[in-house]
Chain A
C-alpha cells in the first residue's frame, strides 16, 4: 500500500493499518445505518450530520493510507451531502440508493486493500451516477458547488470535527488570531501527560486551546514526541512562544497562523487515534478502552481453565490431608488458601468472560439494509423490528451466527412475507413485519426471528419429503406438525424443494442447523398458516464454559449442555418398551429411542483407553430397590433421543478441556470441585449413533 506515513516503522505502520481497517469497516456499517435512518426520515438532521462526518472521516483516513480512489469518491459524495444539507436536494430512494452503492464500493475497496488483492474496484460508474444525479437535480438558479481541489493528503483540517471548525471560524470572526502551535517534548521528559498539562495551564491563561493533537488526556501522549495545539488568542506570538517554553518539558516551539489546508506531515499513530475519536461514534470513555486481539483473550481464558482445574485438584489433596492429619494448623491454612483461590478464580473467570462478550448488534446492524434492498427487489413492503440488540454473547458465537441468521431473514423476506396485494386480500396490513428479538434466559441466549407471512405449507413439505424418500407415506399422515416442520432442516429438502429453496444463496436450512449445532445450540421452528413463521435459536452464552447438567450413569459422571436438553422427566421401568432389542419411550405422542451410556461408550471405544466403561450392562439403573429413574430428552432438529440416568447431580458451570479420547461421543472433559472427572457428551454424535443403531 502506498501510504503517506513513510516516517513510521513497518511495525508501527502495520498496527496503524490494522486499526484503520477495523475502524473503517465499523464506520461503513454505521454509515449504512444512518443512511437508512435518513431515508426513513428526511427531516432527521442528526442522521445527515452523522453521514457527513462518517464520509469525511473515511475521506481523511483513506487519504493518509493512500487509497486515492476511495478518497476521491468520498469527496464527490460530500457534494451530494452538502446539497442535501442545503436542501437543494431532497433525500429519496434514489439518493439513498446512490449513497448505499457508494458504501458497497468503499467496502469493496477496503476489502481488496486489506487482503492485498490487487484488483481495482472501478469507481467510474459510481462517479458518473453522482454527476448525472447532481446534474438532474441541480436547480439552474442555484450555483454549482465548486469542487475543492483534491489536496487532501493528511490535511490538518481532517483532524478537526465540525465543532472545532466552527470554533475556529467564530474566533477569527471575533478578531482573534488562530495559531497552530507545534511543541516538541524535551527528550528526557517522561511524564509527558503531566508536561502537556502544565503547558496547557500556561497557555490557557493567554487564550483558548481549541484542540490538542493528540488529546493531552490520552495515554498515547507518553509515546508522542510532539504535540500540536490549535490556539486562539489576542496575545503576540512571542508571548505565546515564551509560555510554551518550559524547562524539562518542551525543547522546540513552532508557532504559525492556522490554515485549514496546512499540511500535516507527521500524523502520528496517536494523532490518528484522535482522528477516529473525533467521529461521533466515539464514547466519552475512549481513554479507558482498548482493542485487544481476541486470540489473546482466548489464551487467557485457556489459562484460567487450567487454573480452575488445578485449583480443584488442590482442593481434593487438601481434603485428603484433612482426612489423614485431622485438625492440624497447616491443613486449616491450606483450606483457607484454597478458598481464597476459589473465590479469586471464579471472579477472574467471570471477568475474562465479560471481556469476551459483545452485543448481538454487531450482527444485527447489517440487517436493515438487507431488508430494504431485498424487499425493493421483491416488490414487498416490510418493516423490520429489532429488540434486544444490546444482548451480549460470546464473540466466538457472534462471529459465526451472522450467516445463519441472515439466511433465515432472507427466507422470511423471500418466502414468508406475501406481496402487498396478496396481504391486502387476506385482510392483513400491506406492510409485512419481521421481528427479531434476542434475550437471555436461564444461562442461554435466545434469538427469535419471526414474520407475519404466509407460514410454511406443512402438507407440501410432507409431500416433498415423501417424494424424496426421507419419510414414508404412511408415516407422513400421522406425523405431528411440530415434527414435520423440522423437516425443513433436512439437507435433502433444501436443494430442490420450492418450499425451502433460497434462490441459490449457497447455504440452506440444513447449514443453519449445522452451524447452530456446532455452537452447541438448538434451532426450532414454529409456523401457522397465514399467521407466520418463527425461528427460535437457543445458544450457550459462551463456548469455553458450558452450563451443563451433570449426572451419573453407571459409575461415571457425564454432562450434557443444558441448551440441548428439552426436558428432564422421571421414568418408570414399565414405561420402557423394547422393540427389536432397542429400548424406547413414548414421549409427547412420539416414540423416542433410549440410550444407556454404558452401552454407547462400550460400543464406541472398543480397544482404547475408555475400555474401562466396558462393563456388562448390569448398571444400577432400575436396581431391585428402585424402579424409577430419570431420562433426559435431548433434541437436535427433528430428532429426539432419551438418555437414561442413574442419578442427577444438578446444573454446573463446566470449563471444557479438549481431550483426545478416541471417542467421538465425548466432546471434552471437565473436573468437578471434588476432583472427579466429568465427560462432556457431544449431543450431535450421540444422537446420530442412536439413530444409526435404531
Chain B
C-alpha cells in the first residue's frame, strides 16, 4: 500500500494514462484534478459516448473516467462497447445523484467503480487509487 498522497506509477514506472469522457468541458476540467493529484496524464478527452469509443480504440488509455449521461451515446452503452473491445478496460463511472440504476447497469457491464458528482476530489482520488491498486494485484 502506498502513501495516500504519493504519485501512482505503473509497474514500468510510467504514469497512468487517462481518458476523460464528459459532455461538459467544465466537468472534464474538474475531473482532470483527480488525474493531476494521482500523478497521471491525460491521454485524451471525449464529449460523447461515440467519441469515447473511438478515442479508446486509438489511445488505449489505462483508465476511463466516464460520465453516465451524454448526447449521442449514453455512458452506459459506451461502457458495453469498450468492454467488448477490451475486457480488461478500467472504467470508472462519474455520475450525478439519482442515476442509481444506470450506474448499477454500468457496473454490471464491467465498470469498476463509481464517483458521484459534484466530485469531492480527495474521495475520488481514494476510489481511483484503490481500483488501480486492485488491478495491480490482479495483473
Mark A residues whose CB is within 8 Å of B. 186, 188, 190-191, 193-194, 197-198, 201, 246-248
User: With contacts A191-B114, A193-B100 known, is A247 near B129, CB below 8 A?
Assistant: yes
**Most chain B CB atoms below 10 A, which of A188, A198, A201, A247:** A247
User: With contacts A194-B114, A247-B130 known, is A188 near B123, CB below 8 A?
Assistant: yes
- Smallest beta-carbon distance B124→chain A, Å: 8
Task: List B contacts of A246 (CB < 8 A).
Answer: 130
Q: 19 pairs across A/B with beta carbons < 8 Å?
A: A188-B123, A190-B97, A190-B116, A191-B95, A191-B97, A191-B114, A191-B116, A193-B100, A193-B104, A194-B100, A194-B103, A194-B104, A194-B107, A194-B114, A198-B113, A201-B107, A247-B129, A248-B115, A248-B130
Q: How far is the CA of A248 from the CA of B131 in the complex (A)?
A: 10
B126 within 8 A of A: yes
Asked if B100 and A191 sit within 8 Å, CB to CB, the answer is yes
Task: List A contacts of B130 (CB < 8 A).
Answer: 246-248
- Smallest beta-carbon distance A219→chain B, Å: 9
Asked if A197 and B120 sit within 8 Å, CB to CB, the answer is no
Asked if B127 and A247 sit within 8 Å, CB to CB, the answer is yes
Residue of A nearest to B122 (CB): A188
Residue of B nearest to A201 (CB): B107
B102-139, CB < 8 A from A: 103-104, 107, 113-116, 120, 123, 126-127, 129-131
Task: List B contacts of A186 (CB < 8 A).
Answer: 123
User: With contacts A188-B120, A191-B97 known, is A197 near B127, CB below 8 A?
Assistant: no
- Smallest beta-carbon distance A617→chain B, Å: 65
Q: How far is the CA of A194 from the CA of B101 in the complex (A)?
A: 8
Asked if B103 and A248 sit within 8 Å, CB to CB, the answer is no
Q: How far is the CA of A201 from the CA of B111 in the complex (A)?
A: 13
Q: How far is the CA of A91 from the CA of B116 in the complex (A)?
A: 58
- Cβ-defined partner of A247 (8 Å) among B97, B107, B126: B126
Q: How far is the CA of A194 from the CA of B76 in the complex (A)?
A: 15
- Smallest beta-carbon distance A202→chain B, Å: 11
Task: List B contacts of A188 (CB < 8 A).
Answer: 120, 123
Mark B residues whose CB is within 8 Å of A. 95, 97, 100, 103-104, 107, 113-116, 120, 123, 126-127, 129-131
Asked if A197 and B129 sit within 8 Å, CB to CB, the answer is no
Q: How far is the CA of A597 from the CA of B63 in the complex (A)?
A: 81
Q: How would you classify the secondary structure of chain A's contact residues: helix, strand, loop or mixed?
A: loop
Q: How far is the CA of A287 from the CA of B25 in the complex (A)?
A: 37
Task: List B contacts of A247 (CB < 8 A).
Answer: 113, 126-127, 129-131
Residue of B nearest to A187 (CB): B123
Asked if A191 and B103 sit within 8 Å, CB to CB, the answer is yes
Task: List A contacts of B100 (CB < 8 A).
Answer: 191, 193-194
Q: How far is the CA of A672 from the CA of B95 in the complex (A)?
A: 48
Residue of A nearest to B106 (CB): A194
- Smallest beta-carbon distance A115→chain B, Å: 40
Asked if A248 and B107 sit within 8 Å, CB to CB, the answer is no
- Smallest beta-carbon distance B80→chain A, Å: 17
Q: How far is the CA of A374 from the CA of B62 in the complex (A)?
A: 78
Q: How far is the CA of A478 from the CA of B1 in the complex (A)?
A: 103
Q: How far is the CA of A191 from the CA of B123 in the complex (A)?
A: 13
Q: How far is the CA of A247 from the CA of B123 in the complex (A)?
A: 9
Asked if A197 and B107 sit within 8 Å, CB to CB, the answer is yes
Asked if A248 and B123 sit within 8 Å, CB to CB, the answer is yes
Q: How far is the CA of A247 from the CA of B127 in the complex (A)?
A: 6
Q: Apart from A190-B97, A197-B104, A247-B113, what are 14 other A-B pairs with CB-CB below 8 Å?
A: A188-B120, A191-B95, A191-B116, A193-B100, A193-B104, A194-B103, A194-B104, A194-B107, A194-B114, A197-B107, A247-B131, A248-B113, A248-B126, A248-B127
Residue of A nearest to B133 (CB): A247
The 7 A-B pairs with the shortest beta carbon distances in the complex, nearest first, are A247-B130, A248-B127, A188-B123, A190-B116, A194-B103, A193-B100, A197-B104
Task: List A contacts of B95 (CB < 8 A).
Answer: 191
Task: List A contacts of B113 (CB < 8 A).
Answer: 198, 247-248
Task: List A contacts of B126 (CB < 8 A).
Answer: 247-248
- Smallest beta-carbon distance A431→chain B, Å: 55
Q: How far is the CA of A248 from the CA of B100 in the complex (A)?
A: 16
Task: List A contacts of B114 (CB < 8 A).
Answer: 191, 194
Q: How far is the CA of A246 from the CA of B123 in the complex (A)?
A: 13
Q: How far is the CA of A32 from the CA of B130 in the complex (A)?
A: 55
Q: How far is the CA of A190 from the CA of B95 in the complex (A)?
A: 11
Residue of A nearest to B118 (CB): A190
Q: How far is the CA of A190 from the CA of B93 in the complex (A)?
A: 14
Task: List B contacts of A194 (CB < 8 A).
Answer: 100, 103-104, 107, 114
Task: List A contacts of B97 (CB < 8 A).
Answer: 190-191
**Most chain B CB atoms below 10 A, which of A190, A193, A194:** A194
User: With contacts A188-B120, A191-B97, A191-B100 known, is A198 near B107, CB below 8 A?
Assistant: yes
- Smallest beta-carbon distance B20→chain A, Å: 19
Task: List A contacts of B115 (CB < 8 A).
Answer: 248
Task: List A contacts of B123 (CB < 8 A).
Answer: 186, 188, 248
Task: List B contacts of A191 (CB < 8 A).
Answer: 95, 97, 100, 103, 114, 116
Task: List B contacts of A193 (CB < 8 A).
Answer: 100, 104
Residue of B nearest to A194 (CB): B103
Q: How far is the CA of A193 from the CA of B97 in the complex (A)?
A: 11
Q: How far is the CA of A197 from the CA of B129 in the complex (A)?
A: 20
Q: How far is the CA of A650 from the CA of B120 in the complex (A)?
A: 63
Q: How far is the CA of A194 from the CA of B113 in the complex (A)?
A: 9
Residue of B nearest to A193 (CB): B100
- Smallest beta-carbon distance A448→chain B, Å: 47
- Smallest beta-carbon distance A396→chain B, Å: 34
Q: How far is the CA of A186 from the CA of B130 in the complex (A)?
A: 14
- Smallest beta-carbon distance A270→chain B, Å: 16
Q: How far is the CA of A193 from the CA of B101 in the complex (A)?
A: 9
Task: List B contacts of A198 (CB < 8 A).
Answer: 107, 113
**Most chain A CB atoms below 10 A, which of B114, B120, B126:** B114
